[in-house]
Amino acid sequence: MPRIEPPVTTVAEPFWSATRRRQLVAQRCPVCERFVWYPRHACPGCLGEDLEWRPLSGVGSVYAFNVMRRPGNPAMADETPYVIALVDLEEGIRMTTNVVGVPPEQVHCGQRVSVDWSVALSDGRRLPMFTPAAG
């Protein structure tokens, strides 16, 4: 079964466009200087509507994770076991993502991770996943 691919909405299009270049970006509010994740029309902090897209470091740490031994969706059956994680990026954003490139039993809270662009979608976009950081 093919992977279910995330839709591209108008507000998230700049994010998905950046993934084609293997660049992780997020919105930033110039009024309150807060990074905003997930893509929105207005800043949840100050309600400013002039959000700008800025590059992110792609580095963070695992806040929490779950090892999926049974797929949450039949399309993921061939991927089990896989790790779903909340990753806190250096810029203060918490993303829901996957940790890849390491056996699930080696993932732990607080683990330093960096963005991994190894998963391509059918239209050239990439899924930002994370792998343990070197060192």
Question: Is 121 contained in some domain?
Answer: yes
Q: How far apart are CA 104 and CA 117, in angstroms?
A: 19
Q: What is the per-residue pLDDT for 135?
A: 65
Counting the structural domains of the chain, the total is: 1
Q: What is the per-residue pLDDT for 72?
A: 81
Question: Is 99 contained in some domain?
Answer: yes
Along the 135 residues of the chain, how does pLDDT read in single tens digits? Answer: 567 889 999 999 999 999 999 999 999 999 999 999 999 999 999 999 999 999 999 999 999 999 999 988 888 888 899 999 999 999 999 999 999 999 999 999 999 999 999 999 999 999 999 999 986
Question: Is 29 contained in some domain?
Answer: yes
Q: How far apart are CA 54 and CA 51, in angstroms?
A: 10
Q: What is the per-residue pLDDT for 2?
A: 62
Question: Is 49 contained in some domain?
Answer: yes
Question: Is 1 contained in some domain?
Answer: no
Q: Which of 115, 100, 134, 101 is nearest to 58 (CA)?
A: 115
Question: Is 78 contained in some domain?
Answer: yes
pTM value is 0.91
Domain span holding position 42 = 13-132
Strands (DSSP E) along 1-135, which ranges? Answer: 25-28, 35-36, 52-55, 59-68, 82-89, 94-99, 112-120, 126-132
